[in-house]
Amino acid sequence: MPPRGNTILKVSNLKRSYGNFVAVDGLNLQVNEGEIYGFLGVNGAGKTTTIRMLMGIITPEAGTIELMGETTKRTSLKQKQKIGYVSQEQVFYPWMTAQMLGKFVGGLYPDWDKQEFERLLQVLEVPPNRKSSHLSGGMRVKLALALALAPRPSLLILDEPTAGMDPVARREFLDIIEHQAREYGRTTFFSTHLLNEVERAADKVGIIHRGKTRFEGDLTLLQSRVRKIQATEGTVLPAGFEVWQILDPDPITGQREMVVDAPPEMWADSSIAGEKLSLDDIFISCVGVATMRI
């Protein structure tokens, strides 16, 4: 496994709204070289808007993007040539075959590797001479991935690539991503709303909710930070403990439960007995589903 290195992507206080609706509200995140970064959030959390800003498709209202050592407000053409991108929706020219698409897209990247593209098509089992309109949804995503990987990008950005895939195709796709990252040290940033995908493939996770970063770090850290505690009326938490969610009181005992976030060392130093949660529970409490009882 190649060593994790320098910061390849750093986003600071990114903001973007559509009219009165704030889609991304002061977002921060950091991706290091060689990492697989899972960008997790429910539908409408602001994932796609963030990615479209990273790709320079839309301009942020505030904040900066540091990409491959260059700080910018909007991703430049040169930076885009170092990024492989798979969008949420795979729309190709229906009359183009994979080969034709390779020729067309290849003309836009200075480092396009034709042989690598052909190898990827073969590995991913994408028929090179079939029109894109005749490819299945899963095939189209694979083709998009081959197109994104052929220029040997420094950063691979995937916007919910497995949406709409069946479980088998999804697993196969994640295997490819993981293989690419582990084998070639490819830095990968992928968004999803499925926790198990992150759990399976990501080294690091960023949880976005209502346009804000709720958590960023590795999953083990997340599990050791967020715990469930029993609380009675008048319970006061020490400084450094942040309540993520207060659950409805138990109808029999009247006791309340709270999901609380704190650094592991604080949990160890305090006398509060926190119950560890599954990642599912943590995610749900993170995005604040108030009526849910854990």
Interface with another protein (CB under 8 A): 52, 55, 57-59, 77-78, 80-81, 85, 87, 89-95, 100, 103-105, 107-109
> Residue 37 forms beta bridges with which residues?
189, 204
Shortest separation between residue 105's beta carbon and another protein, angstroms: 6
Q: Which of 189, 146, 197 is nearest to 171 (CA)?
A: 197
Residue with tokens 């070289």: 33
Give 90 or 187: the residue with its C-beta nearer to another protein. 90
Give 62 or 221: the residue with its C-beta nearer to another protein. 62
Element (H, E) at 242: strand 242-246
Residue with tokens 């930070």: 225
Give 89 or 275: the residue with its C-beta nearer to another protein. 89
Shortest separation between residue 196's beta carbon and another protein, angstroms: 27
Shortest separation between residue 277's beta carbon and another protein, angstroms: 37
Shortest separation between residue 143's beta carbon and another protein, angstroms: 11
Query: What is the amino acid identity at position 153?
Result: P
Give 34 or 56: the residue with its C-beta nearer to another protein. 56
Distance CA 147, CA 267 (A): 47
Question: CB-hemisphere CA count at 13 Å for 105?
Answer: 28
Whether the Cβ atoms of residue 206 and residue 38 lie closer than 8 Å to each other: yes
Shortest separation between residue 103's beta carbon and another protein, angstroms: 8
Give 111 or 269: the residue with its C-beta nearer to another protein. 111
Give 58 or 163: the residue with its C-beta nearer to another protein. 58
Distance CA 242, CA 239 (A): 8
The count of other CB atoms within 10 Å of the CB of residue 92 is 20
Shortest separation between residue 290's beta carbon and another protein, angstroms: 31
Q: How far is CA 166 from the centre of its chain?
A: 19
